[in-house]
Amino acid sequence: MGREQRVAILGATGAVGAELLTLLEERSFPLASLKLLASPRSAGTYLTFKGERIPVEPVSETAFRGVDWVLASAGATVSKTWAKAVVEAGAVMVDNSSAFRMDPEVPLVVPEVNPQDALRHQGIIANPNCTTILMCVVIYPLHKRIPIRRVVAATYQSASGAGARAMQELRDQSRAYLEGKPLEPRVFPYPIAFNLFPHNSPLQENGYCQEEMKMVNESRKIMGSPNLRLTATCVRVPLMRAHAEALNLEFEQPFPVEQARQILAEAPGVVLLEDWQQNRFPMPIDVSGKDDVAVGRIRQDISEPKALELWLCGDQIRKGAALNAIQIVELLSVPQPVTA
């Protein structure tokens, strides 16, 4: 990697902020300095990084001076509030919120899919939605071989997708359920322990929720396929972390299953996990705390000759958020090889 980088984490006390700290340490990221930023409510606390206690500072107009990268994961409102100050300070914001994802001037990047888009940034790079990232990492290698015409997706999304407070709510409600006590929703609108419900993001006029439309619109932008037909049903399930997705992919022509399996086995950021004799395929416990997206149960759709079915699981906090952001920084920080 090139010179050491000066990094600030905006939203350092949240679930993704904690994962960013873990990954910076695990990947031996070359840090010249690390600044932890959060709301005034969280300021004054300390987080530990490489055995050192680092203070959490309140975000302010001057907080981004002397910083190369701002890894933002504090929500769309916060990102919109501070984006101008970040850019004016000469830093680059890699934003994990939905604030800039569909802005035509802001690249929306999954490094395994469209790394070249990151190069055209003007101070802001958007990190896609978690379900979109996990899906695109898996389907894009197939799309390059035979273009995909249509995707039908069903997602099974863990509490981690709603942040640290939602994860704690699942713990609290699970304990209460087993003790015969009433469940008290605070973060989610309904009980999440031993229950599931359609994703609780706002419903749109077309009957789809916001989360489902994120998958549609973001996938088209990332894959450079504005006419990609995609429909999704997103569901909240009582898991702590890691999302799962069932995908039906219709291609322009039949796609041999063994060829698809070989492509995915060799794809970056993907691990093939299949044991047909034992009926053993990817599960959230296989990918929690892991970088790769696990895919399996790849099979021919018996109702459509040009379609394949597959199942994937990926860690939402990790690859679906923090890891993707750090990979973007690494992508732009590593000197690129000179080609003849």
| Catalytic site positions | 130, 243
The residues, any chain, with a CB within 8 Å of residue 215's CB and separated by 6 or more, are: 129, 131, 132, 135, 153, 155, 230, 232, 234
Question: Residues comprising the binding site for NADP(+)?
Answer: 13-16, 41-42, 160-161, 182, 316
If you count them, how many residues does the chain have?
A: 340
Q: At what angle do helices 130-145 and 210-223 cross, to 10 degrees?
A: 40
Burial 83-99 (b: 16+ CB within 10 A, else e): bebbbebebbbbbbbbb
Question: Residues comprising the binding site for substrate?
Answer: 157, 236
Residue ranges of alpha helices (H) inside 91-189 are 130-145, 164-178
Question: Residues comprising the binding site for phosphate?
Answer: 101
The SS3 call for residue 160 is helix
Q: Could you give the CA distance from residue 174 to residue 57 in angstroms, rounded to a whole number?
A: 34
Strands 229-236 and 148-157: parallel
CB-CB contact of 265 with 274 (8 Å): no
Max Cα separation, the chain?
Answer: 69
